[in-house]
Each structure stands twice: as C-alpha cells, then as structure tokens.
Amino acid sequence: MEEAQRQYLEKGITVTYEYLAPEAASAEDQKERLSQVKKDDYDIIGVDVADEEIISPVLDEMADEGFRVMTFSSSDAAEGCKRIAYVGNTHNYQDGADLTEALCEKLGYRGRVAILVGSKGAPCHEDRAKGAKDTIAGYPDMEIAAVEYDMDSIENAYNLTLKILEENPGLDGIICCNMSNPVGAARAITEKGSDTVIVGMDHDREALHYLNDGVIYCLGVQDCFSIGFDTLQVAVKIADGNPPGDLYPEKMNEITTIIYQEDAESMLELLYGDIL
Amino acid sequence: MTNEKDSINKRFIYTAIIGSTLVMAVLAFSMLWASRKTVSTTDEAVSAVSSFYLEAMADQRARTINNLINNNFEHMDKALTVIRDEDIESQEELRNVIGKIKTVLSLNRFALVDEDNTVYTQYTTYSGGSRYDFLSSDKLSERVISTAYMYGSSKQLCLATPADGLEILGKPFKACFVQIDIKDISDLLLLEDQGNTYFALYTKNGGNLSDSGLGLVGAGENILEDSKDYISRDSWEKLSTDFEEGKEGSLTLVSDGIQETICYAPVPDTGWMMAVLIRESVIHEQFLEISDNNRRVSRMLIIVTLLSMVIFAAVLLLQSRRISRMRLETERENSRMFRSMANTDSMTGVRNKHAYSEYEKHLNNMIRSGELRNRLAVLVCDVNGLKHVNDTKGHAAGDQLIKDACSLICEHFVHGTVFRIGGDEFAVILQEKGYDTLDETLSSINREIEDNISRDRVVISIGHSVLNEEDRQIHDVFERADNLMYQRKKELKAMGAKTRE
C-alpha cells in the first residue's frame, strides 16, 4: 500500500489511508470498528472479512447507506454481498487443497492428519480447511484425526497441537490454514520432538525459519505486496466513482506460491533480510 | 719492431672492443634491472596506496552515514519540541503538523507512534506493532536504529527516538521515527563520491542493502555468498567473522585475471558494513601506463646508449686507425727526411754528391735498358775565384759565394736537377723541358755570368754535353761536359775573371 501511495504522490495525487489491524481476528471487533468508521468521512472503506456470515450483512447495510465498501486480503464477503470489489486471494479452497496434496504426497498417501483451521467463519480459513478435507477424502488411506479452530492465534495453535499430539500419538501430519497456526504447531512439534509433517500458510518469519530447519514441510505464500498495492489502486478508482469493469475487475485475484525448505533462505532474505 | 707495434695496436683495439662491450652489457643490465625494479616497486605502491585509499574511503562513507543518522536524530528531537508546542485538536491537524515537520526539517517519512503502536504519518494511519521490531516493546527507552525490509519494495533505515510525555488528542505517544530509503543513502554517497569508487552497504550477515554491485560481487547479492568462489576458506571465514563482529578489514578477489580489493568498515550503530572497491586494475592501468612510459624511456635510453657506445667504439676504432696511420706517415716522413738529409747538401739545400751518384746509377740503368737514349744534358759548373775569396775575404765569404752560385744556377735551370758534387763544383741534369730550353737558358746564364765579371760577382764556368747514342753511361756525357767547362774557364779568364791560378 505504501508503494502505491508513494507512486501516487509522485504523480501529485495524495492518497490518505488508515490501516488498522486488530490484535486478534474477531468478527465482533470488526463489526464494531465498521460502525465507528461510518462516523468518519472516508471515500472508501476496505475490509479484510473476519467472518463472512457476520460481516457481509454489515457491508450490505453500509452499501445501502451510500458507503463505498470493498474487501481485500484473503477473505471476500459472502456471495451476493454488495461490496464493490475484492482484491486478494480468490483460491483459498485450492490453496488448502494444494497444501494437503503436498502433504499426502510426502506421506505416501497414507496416514492420519489434523487440521488447524484458524478463525471460525473466516472465509479464507474455512475455504482452505474445506479444500484440505476434500483432498484427504480423495485418498482412502488418509484419515483426518482432528479439526481445531485456533482463532488465528499462535498461542492457541501451540496448545491445540500439544493436545492433538497427546490424543493422537503417531499423528502423521498437520494442515495449518492461516498465518499463526504453522508457528504454533511447529513450536509444539519441536518441543515434543515429533516427526509430524506440517504444511501451512503464509510467510511469518518464525514459520520461515521452521521451514528452513525442516520442521515445516511447505508453506503457501500469498503475494502480500501485490494485494496491498492493488487494493489501494482499486480503492482510488472506486473513490473516483468508477464501477468494476474495464478499469478494474470485480474480483482481482492474487497468486499463492507453495515454497519448500530450499526456498526458505531466499524468502527470509527477501522479506526480512535474514541470512542463514 | 714493426711486429711489436702491430701487436700493441691489436691489443689496444681488442681491449677497447672488450671494454666497450662489457660497459654496454653492464649498462644494459643495470637499466633493465632498474626498469623491472621500478615496475615491481610500482606494483607494491599500487597495492599499498589502493588499500590505504580504500580503507579511508570506507571510513569516510561510514562516517557520512553516521552523520546522516545523527542529523536525523537531532531533527527528530526538534520535531518533538515543535509538536509539543502545537495545540493539535484533530487528526487532520496532526497530519498537517507532521507534513510541515517533514518539509521544514527534511525528515523522510516522519511518523509518530502511540501507545497502541498505531503509526501516524502525513497521509497514513496504520497498525505497526508487527511491522517494526522497535515498536513491539511497550515503551521505548532509548534511541533505536534498525533496518526495515519492505516486502516487494525498498529497504529502509529506521531511526526511532522516545517521545516521553507526548500526548496528542488525549492519547499518550511513545515514539517518533523516520524511515530513510537506503537507496537515497546510496544516492547521497554516490553524489559525494562522484562515481569514483564502487561501494555497497551490507548487513552483518552479508545481505546487500544498497542493491549496488561491488565488482565480482553482483548487484544486490550477498557478499558472503558471492565471495566464496573467489577467496580461500580462511579468507572467507575472516570476512564472515569481521562482518559478524563489525570489524574493519579487506579482502582481495581474483577471477579471470581481474584482481579487486574490497575494504569494509562498520557503519556505527546500524549493524551495517560499508564496503568500498576500486578495481585494482583501474589503478594498475594508470600505474602501468606510467611504468610502460618509464620502460619505454628506459628502452630508448638503452638503445641510445648502445648506439652511442657503438658510435663511440667505431669512432675509437677509426681514431685508433688514424693514429696508427699518422704514426706510419710520420715514420715514413722521418724516413724520407733521413733519406733526404743523406742526399742533400746542407749548405745550399740542393742534392749532394751522394744523390748525384744515386741518380747517376738510376740513369745508367735506364740507358742500359734502352729507356733513355737522348734528350738528356749534363752541365758541369765550377765556381771561379773561390780560393781567392776564401783567402782574401774568409771562408764565410767563400761559403756565400757558393750559395750565390747555387742560387744563380737554380734560378736559371728551373727545370733541371742541380747537384753540388764538389766544394765549388755543381752538376745539372736536364731532361724534358729543361733539355728543350737548354740553349736559351745557357745563353741567359752565361750572359749574366759575363756581366758579373766586371761587377765582381759570382762567376761560374759551365760546360755541357748531351747524351748520345754511343754513350754507355752518364759519366761519358759528364766527361765531355767537364772538358768543355775547363775551356769555358779559360775563356772567362780571358775576359777578366778570377781563377784559382
């Protein structure tokens, strides 16, 4: 977003934005914030939907009241929501399926796995979990031992993983559907000295280190730079009164790349300047 | 004697040649040695100068960044003072104040951070707790210098300073910070450097911050990774340790004959390393150009010296031959002189009796061989009254009489050969033109002689005869001339001339 803002400034266009992320994902918190936002004079409101069932009606209501609302990042609102556009990951289901396929291949299509979903109702987390479940279902020798919601919290993910390992000795794999849970799972696995294979999402610094160490098998990395950059670009076009169409699509898809141990070093250097 | 002289001459020439050759060899060798020594000394100087220069450059650039950091901290302190003095009543006003501070104090991306880690910039408000390490702590107690990596974008130097007691819109603020694009820092250094050197900024783990290349270390590449192929394991470990511990140092990379020396120095407080490189080949080229010129001059000097020596040797040789020739000539001259002295009459300067005898022999040989048959006349001249003069006027006067007589004979018989063959007796041999003009010359001299009788001057009795077919030797002709000389003496006596009687 900063880069897009900078490029606009170079052209003499000042874009002012507020980007306020909560400490932890919460649909209720988001609902409250949206009601606050309505009091201010914003040209465009972008929402990273925490729970499509709770937030989508709020967005519809805001649209009906004349607010220009768009969604971005990993979770779009529910189908039919009146938000103007979405920029971000449109293939969460596929991401979940791809990660799980990688895990199944690693396990030789035989074994018991657990799924850490993330936030209940968060479309991106739920879609990934669904993709994972459907993939597992396709292999007769694969079995889902547990499905848990960590609410996108590292601490929760850590505790849940310990619990799953305790309840499922010899667990073969864990599928992590958001940014926090691969870290929590990896911490627990390391602590227990387990050889359970972890696959997960996103590019948390600690997760990348676990990837490099071989604790995490692979990570699905979303193109966050493009998501931010394109979100601001689309937001400006919406603020100018342009509807989706030739200037921007109603859904702008950003890619996800699955990276493995050999990619960890370069990713760490690229994102965090870490040289191992 | 001649052999000994030749031997001495030869020895002289050989000595000159060998000596010259030795001198030339020593001279050439010393010049070559001096030339090579100059090149090697230059090489050492290049290494020393370039390393020294690079170390200084690295230090200077590190100091430039340090100054930039200090200036920014000072400006942030001023900014906080300004903000404290402002009566900010809305977020809009806060943004305007931040914008004003950015402009007035030239602070890039100046931002304030509240206690909830929300960041306020001129155009943006965002939650930054997870983004910057320095924002993760609840309270900022001291200045923090850190490096931020903007995913997909630039790398930034972040400078944060505590904002103790600052409260805006009823909210406590914990810090303010600036972000300086490392590319801008590179541009600043480039401006200062005017493109004379290559430089790059690295993290302690070798990551490239400035996205600039450093010779064999590619643009944006990790120096620790890239240098592995060009340096020994020990050098690489030293480099890694120096970077890790933030120590100054240098390394030399060699690839495909290209040698590059990189000097690095820590940038204080940042955890960065400033590395500077000048391709040694660049300095080398300049020094080599000088060396080449020196070498060319040396070669020219050698060639000129050799040529000079050759010319000198040639001149010496020619001179020596000339001296030899002159000596030979002198010898010959001396010999001629001695021979001449043996054949010359010391009183009159004309040929003497001995010369006459030699000449007579020579002519006799010619007569015998048939080469000489005629056209030769012999004149016998006797000076009258010599005894009388000696007796009455002394021998000096007598000697003068003889000289006068000789002069008279020589003046008239210009084309003849005059000999003094006795005390008062001369012989003249006439050939060619002298022979052809005999009669008139004889008449002329006799007339003068006859005139001299009355004037008491020199009187000479001259008898002459010419070579006949029958003559077997010159003496035959001489005898006839001698007889006729006596007859003439009588004639002159009759005319009043004094005689011996």
Residue B35 has pLDDT above 60, yes or no: yes
Rounded (10°) CA dihedral A190, A194, A199, A203: 0
Which of A119-123, A204-208, A242-246, B379-383 has the lowest average pLDDT? Answer: A119-123
Asked if residues A183 and A154 have their Cβ atoms less than 8 Å apart, the reply is: yes
| pLDDT given for residue B45 in this prediction | 64
Q: Which residues are bridge partners to A198 per DSSP?
A: A174, A216
Beta-carbon count within 10 A of B52 CB: 11
Chain B residues with CB inside 8 Å of A226's CB?
152
Structure confidence at residue A45 (pLDDT): 95
- Between B179 and B295, whose confidence is greater? B179
The band of B428, judged by pLDDT with boundaries at 50, 70 and 90, is very high
According to DSSP, residue B351 is labeled B
pLDDT of residue B425: 93
Q: Which candidate, A31, A22, A27, A40, places its Cα nearest to that of A59?
A: A31
Exposed/middle/buried for B50, CB within 10 Å: 0-12, 13-18, 19+? buried
Class (C level, CATH) for B353-494: alpha beta
Confidence at B462, pLDDT banded by 50, 70, 90: very high
For the beta sheet containing B258-267, the strands, ordered from the edge strand earlier in sequence to the opposite edge, are: B198-203, B272-279, B258-267, B249-255
Distances (CA, A) of B229 to B225, B239, B253, B256: 8, 13, 9, 12
Distance separating alpha carbons of residues B143 and A8, to the nearest angstrom: 32
The pLDDT of residue B445 is 94
Number of helices (H) and strands (E) in chain A: give both, helices first.
10, 11
pLDDT at B54: 73
B149/A226 CB distance under 8 A: no
Q: Could you report the per-residue pLDDT of A173-185, keeping only the tens digit for each?
A: 999 999 999 999 9
Which residue ranges form the domains of chain A, and what is each CATH number? Answer: 2-90+223-255 (3.40.50.2300), 92-222+258-272 (3.40.50.2300)
pLDDT score for B227: 84
Contact B499, B384 (CB under 8 A): yes
Residues of B in Cβ contact (< 8 Å) with A2 = 124, 150, 153
> Cβ(B147)–Cβ(B271) under 8 Å?
yes
**Chain B residue at shortest CA distance from A275:** B205
Residue B409: half-sphere exposure toward Cβ, Cα within 13 Å: 31
Backbone angles phi, psi at B379, to 5 degrees: -115, 130
Closest CA to B211 of B240, B186, B180, B190: B186
For residues B422 and B52, which has the higher predicted lDDT (pLDDT)? B422
Element (H, E) at B201: strand B198-203
How many residues can be counted in chain A?
276
Residues from chain B contacting residue A20 (CB–CB below 8 Å)? 118, 125-127
User: What phi, psi does A243 have (nearest 5°)?
Assistant: -80, 165
Å from B294 to nearest chain A CA? 49
d(C-alpha B84, C-alpha B79), whole Å: 9
d(CA B442, CA B377): 12
CA distance A175 to A160: 13
Quote the pLDDT of residue B156: 84
- Tell me if domain B185-281 and domain B353-494 are identical in fold: no
Which residues are B155's β-sheet partners? B149
Tell whether the model's pLDDT for residue B108 goes beyond 80. Answer: no
Asked whether residue B353 carries a pLDDT value surpassing 60, the answer given is yes
* Mean pLDDT (whole number) for A222-244: 92
Asked if B446 contacts B391 with a C-beta cutoff of 8 angstroms, the reply is no
Averaged pLDDT score across all residues of chain A: 92
Task: Name the CATH architecture for the domain at B39-177.
Answer: 2-Layer Sandwich (3.30)
Residue A87 and residue A252 in contact, taking contact as beta carbons nearer than 8 Å: yes
Higher pLDDT: B151 or B91? It is B91
The pLDDT of residue B44 is: 66
Selection from A216, A222, A224, A208 nearest residue A258 by Cα? A222
Closest-CA residue of B relative to A4 is: B153
Mean of the pLDDT values across residues A143-162?
94
**Is the per-residue pLDDT at B122 higher than 80?**
yes
Mean pLDDT to the nearest integer, A91-110: 96
A24 closest CA partner among A146, A179, A229: A179
pLDDT of residue B31: 72
Give the distance from CA B481 to its chain's centroid. 80
DSSP-derived secondary structure letter, A243: P
Alpha-carbon gap: B281 to the closest alpha carbon of chain A (Å): 31
* H or E element, residue B463: strand B460-466
Provide, rounded to the nearest whole percent, the portion of chain B with pLDDT above 70.
88
Q: Do A16 and B124 touch (CB under 8 A)?
A: yes
Nearest to B126 among A14, A18, A271 (CB): A18
Residue with tokens 């189908």: A79
**Sole residue written with tokens 């966050």:** A224
What is the mean predicted confidence (pLDDT) over B52-63? 80
For residue B163, is pLDDT > 60?
A: yes
pLDDT greater than 80 at residue B257: no
pLDDT at A144: 97
**Structure confidence by residue, pLDDT tens digits, A237-263:** 999 999 999 999 999 988 999 999 999
Q: Where are the domains of chain B?
A: 39-177, 185-281, 353-494
Work out the minimum CA distance from B112 to partner chain A, whole angstroms: 14
Neighbours of A66 (CB within 10 A): 6
> How close does chain B come to A245, measured CA to CA in Å?
27
**Cβ(A157)–Cβ(A116) under 8 Å?**
yes
In this predicted structure, the answer to whether residue B1 has a pLDDT above a threshold of 60 is: no
- Residues of chain B that touch chain A, judged by Cβ-Cβ distance less than 8 Å: 95, 118, 123-127, 130, 147, 149-153, 155, 203, 205-207, 209, 222, 224-225
Q: What one-character DSSP code corresponds to residue A242? A: P
Give the residue from chain B lying closest to A225, CA to CA.
B152
Helices A205-213/A181-192 angle, 10° precision: 40
ipTM of the complex: 0.74
Q: Which carries the bigger pLDDT value, residue B325 or residue A64?
A: A64
The crossing angle, in degrees rounded to 10, of helices B438-455 and B395-412 is 150
Confidence of residue B281 (pLDDT cuts 50, 70, 90): low
Average of pLDDT values for A188-214? 94
Q: Report the pLDDT value the prediction gives residue B152, as an integer from 0 to 100.
A: 56
Q: Which whole number is the average pLDDT over B255-274?
A: 82
Using CB atoms, which residue from B151, B203, B209 is nearest to A225? B151
Rounded to the nearest angstrom, the minimum Cα separation between A15 and chain B is: 7
d(CA B117, CA B128): 6
What is the rounded end-to-end Cα distance, in angstroms, of chain B? 56
Summarize the confidence of residues B162-178 as an average pLDDT. Answer: 91
In the block, tokens 């007035």 appear at: B104
How many Cβ atoms are within 10 Å of A256's Cβ, its own excluded? Answer: 21
Q: Give A-chain residues touching B203 at CB under 8 angstroms.
A: 273, 275
- Which residue in A155, A151, A158, A191 sits closest to A174, CA to CA? A158
- A72 vs B184, more confident: A72
Query: How close are the terminal C-alpha atoms of chain A, in Å?
Result: 29
In this prediction, residues B127-131 reach a mean pLDDT of 66
The structure tokens 């000994």 sit at B4
Angle at B172 between CA B78 and CA B72, to 5 degrees: 25
pLDDT higher than 60, residue A276: no
Of B125, B150, B203, the CB nearest to A18: B125
Nearest CA in chain A to B154: A3
For residue B2, is pLDDT > 60? no
- The pLDDT mean for chain B works out to 83
Picking from A249, A258, A235, the residue whose alpha carbon sits closest to that of residue A182 is A258
Per-residue pLDDT tens for A70-94? Answer: 999 888 899 999 999 999 988 999 9
Of B126, B206, B222, the CB nearest to A19: B126
Q: Do A270 and B222 touch (CB under 8 A)?
A: no
| Across B231-259, average pLDDT | 85
A203 by Cβ neighbours in 10 Å (0-12 / 13-18 / 19+) ranks as buried
Looking at domain B185-281, which of 3.40.50.720, 3.30.450.20, 3.40.50.2300, 3.30.360.10 is its CATH number?
3.30.450.20
Q: Which residue has the higher pLDDT, A182 or B28?
A: A182
Which residue in A17, A229, A269 is closest to B207 by CB distance? Answer: A269
**Calpha distance B81→B67 (Å, rounded):** 21
Question: Span B432-448, mean pLDDT?
Answer: 93
pLDDT value of position B46: 61
Per-residue pLDDT, averaged over B320-331, amounts to 80
